[in-house]
Structure 1
Amino acid sequence: MAKDMIILGERIGLGEAKTLNFSFAKLYTATKIEIPIVINRSEIDGPTVLLTAGVHGDEINGVEIVRQVIAKHINKPKTGTTICIPILNIFGFLNQDRVFPDGRDLNRVFPGTKTGSLASRIAYHFVKEILPHADYCLDFHTGGAQRFNAAQIRIAPGDEKLFKLAQVFNAPFTVYATNIGKSYRNTCKKMGKQVLLFEGGKSLESNKYIVKEGVDGVSRVLNHLGMLRDDYKVVPIDRTPVVISNSKWIRAQKSGLLHIKIDCNKHVVKGEFLATITDPYGTMRFKVLAPNDGYIININQAPIVNQGDAIFHISTESK
């Protein structure tokens, strides 16, 4: 018989559902900061899937994806366990900022330390108390600042199991991206957890199309693992994700006002007209052209750019 799951000192048995408060810090007003963790266990033992969002506090799409998973009861599994954390960086969420109050990026301090910075302490307790219970991790992000990401799953190259799981999630793009040291994804890998990182949209924006891609992807993964309830039907989709193994940034050659002429997700050919950069006085108009054939998977939607700013992320090799 399966053992009870003990998280943050609370015992959760098969068939039980609990919302726990992950609380290890306070505001400088002495107000306790609590991060709700929504746990649902089936009466039938099975895998544990951990869904996280808000690692960066201004990335709202991920928060909405996990919220909808909970609101639609997708997180109530037929077998196994789901653990949902809609907002991990509650400090950044309150401030509508990417980072913690001390300027630390939570996704660059894993696995954390018990006596380190505020972000490092949150990472430490998360890794010690919650992550060990997970078999699969789905982590939801958006593009930073005003850079809009096409809906995509990022995985480390050379991991066949992760590649197959990414195909199950079935975002429009599967992008090979090397794990960054001290990132959540890198810690998952070291602990033997299968992790998919979803990127879609931009910060401080809720995009219903991106959110739907995320919610549908979660449903497909849970269905693949035998965890999705029979009364929730996965919407069939007839596509094979485009696999991007190499990509590069197209950078602004001039400073000025940026006028985008194409949509994200688009396949372009070498020399295709992507944007113009103009000065405010009507004397300069610079055309931005595609340097190669490829898919545009990120667009900088900022109205003003400086020379050298990243404005398009384009694949250089895809399948």
Structure 2
Amino acid sequence: MERAQPLELFGHTILPGTRQRLNIPVVKLYTDTPIDLRMEVIHGRRKGPCLLVTAAIHGDELNGVEICRQILGHKNLSKIYGTLIVIPVVNQLGFIQQIRYLPDRRDLNRCFPGSSKGSLGGRLANLITTGIFPHVDYALDLHTGAIHRTNLPQLRTDLTNEKCVGLARAFGAPVILHSSLRDGSFRGAANEYNIPALVYEAGEALRLEQASIKLGLKGVMRVMRHLNMLPKKPVKTPAIQPWECNQSQWLRSSRDGLVLLHIKQGHLVKEGETMMTIVNPFDATDSESITAPFDGVVIGLSQLPLANEGDALVHLAKVSSTLADTEYDQEVIEEVLDLGIAQLPVPENQEYQ
């Protein structure tokens, strides 16, 4: 295997076979306190791909931060081929304040590729796109649901891109959802640099959820083995064979009231099945049911049992009729969330919908 060359990053030289923590100045608070973009770079002795792993682009999304911490403590990184760049907290200002956004209420994930003379979010995005992306071959961006919303562990990527599909299947999350590129997003900017990118969504904001973290850590390590960045090892248990879905929809409340859910995260539901009932808290006879518009799997839920008209309550990913007829037990998804290694009941020749 060819030996790696030194890596030049933000004026720092990282030699092959070394790891280095970099603190790249971003901005100062009005108290003159510096805020840095902190990252760790593991540069292998042998040549290989460069993988970028980021978390907390939204400052209140914590599962990815812990996944990054555990990645950096993994004993196998000394054997790496290529380069691993890990940024545990991209949005330091939001992280400090325990909020999703930047102090000016901008969403950092709508600021890419950014500008060196733009808003704070634009400047931070520009630092990543111009300083890091030119070195990167693949990217994993770690997220959770918003406050009061939880996501089934899932990947979002471009299912028309063969490299993205290969990465997603190697990762092993329960669901892979086709997601179009959004202007201003990290993934959209990565695409402009021809970087195949996955977004891992799991859990809820401002929570550390061990099942989502464990599955995410295993997924990142599987991707590294898929890219031949780490030695292959015998697989004792098959990786998850995911549901691959091409369409999803948030089901919204048709009225205000209390929300009585009849489904759980990961449930397969049939078209027309009652998923929730909205009830009037002051009238025991006044209620309205909401049914599934198509056969699907529940990939996101509101955790708040109160709803105003139009509130998003259940995120449903569409599956083929063949998939919906699969014999299914809720215990399977619970095993996935508990262990991060279970096999899902998915036919080999599933169709995208």
Tell me what 2:116 maps to: 114
Tell me what 2:207 maps to: 205
SS where residue 151 of structure 1 aligns? strand
Whole-Å separation in 1 of the counterparts to 2:236 and 2:311: 39
The 10-residue stretch of structure 1 (265-274 or 184-193) with the greater mean CA deviation from structure 2: 265-274
Q: Which amino acid aligns with 1:287?
A: S
The 10-residue stretch of structure 1 (257-266 or 283-292) with the greater mean CA deviation from structure 2: 283-292
TM-score normalised to the size of structure 1? Answer: 0.94
Tell me what 2:103 maps to: 101
Residues 205-252 of structure 1: CA deviation (Å, up to 9, x unaligned):
11111111111100111111222257x876633531100011212111
TM-score normalised to the size of structure 2? Answer: 0.86
Tell me what 1:171 maps to: 173
Residues 58-104 of structure 1: CA deviation (Å, up to 9, x unaligned):
11111111111112345444211111100000000001111100111
Tell me what 1:257 maps to: 258
Whole-Å separation in 2 of the counterparts to 1:62 and 1:203: 10
- Shift of residue 317, structure 1, vs aligned partner: 3.6
In structure 2, the CA distance between the partners of 1:275 and 1:74, relative to structure 1 (3 Å rule), is: farther
Q: Indicate conservation of the 8 Å contact 1:216/1:234, yes or no.
A: no
- Alignment match of 2:137 (pick from 135, 138, 141): 135
SS where residue 156 of structure 2 aligns? strand
Q: Which amino acid aligns with 1:107?
A: N
| Residue 14 of structure 2 is aligned to residue 12 of structure 1 | yes
Aligned pair count? Answer: 318
Whole-Å separation in 2 of the counterparts to 1:33 and 1:239: 39
Tell me what 1:246 maps to: 247
Residues 99-156 of structure 1: CA deviation (Å, up to 9, x unaligned):
1001111110101011111111111111111121111101101112222111111112
- 5 Å-filtered alignment, 1:212-231, equals 212-228=214-230
Unaligned runs of 5+ in 2: 321-350
Tell me what 1:25 maps to: 27
Q: Indicate conservation of the 8 Å contact 1:41/1:76, yes or no.
A: no
What percent of counterpart residues are identical? 37
Q: Indicate conservation of the 8 Å contact 2:157/2:198, yes or no.
A: yes
The 10-residue stretch of structure 1 (279-288 or 101-110) with the greater mean CA deviation from structure 2: 279-288
Q: Which amino acid aligns with 2:267?
A: K
The 10-residue stretch of structure 1 (245-254 or 98-107) with the greater mean CA deviation from structure 2: 245-254
Q: Indicate conservation of the 8 Å contact 1:16/1:42, yes or no.
A: yes
In structure 2, the CA distance between the partners of 1:59 and 1:69, relative to structure 1 (3 Å rule), is: same
- Shift of residue 3, structure 1, vs aligned partner: 2.6
Q: Indicate conservation of the 8 Å contact 2:173/2:240, yes or no.
A: no
Q: Which amino acid aligns with 2:257?
A: G
Tell me what 2:277 maps to: 276
Whole-Å separation in 1 of the counterparts to 2:116 and 2:47: 32
SS where residue 60 of structure 2 aligns? coil
In structure 2, the CA distance between the partners of 1:77 and 1:178, relative to structure 1 (3 Å rule), is: farther
- Report the aligned-residue RMSD: 1.7
SS where residue 47 of structure 1 aligns? strand
SS where residue 105 of structure 2 aligns? coil
Q: Indicate conservation of the 8 Å contact 1:20/1:36, yes or no.
A: yes
The 10-residue stretch of structure 1 (149-158 or 213-222) with the greater mean CA deviation from structure 2: 149-158
Whole-Å separation in 2 of the counterparts to 1:310 and 1:61: 22
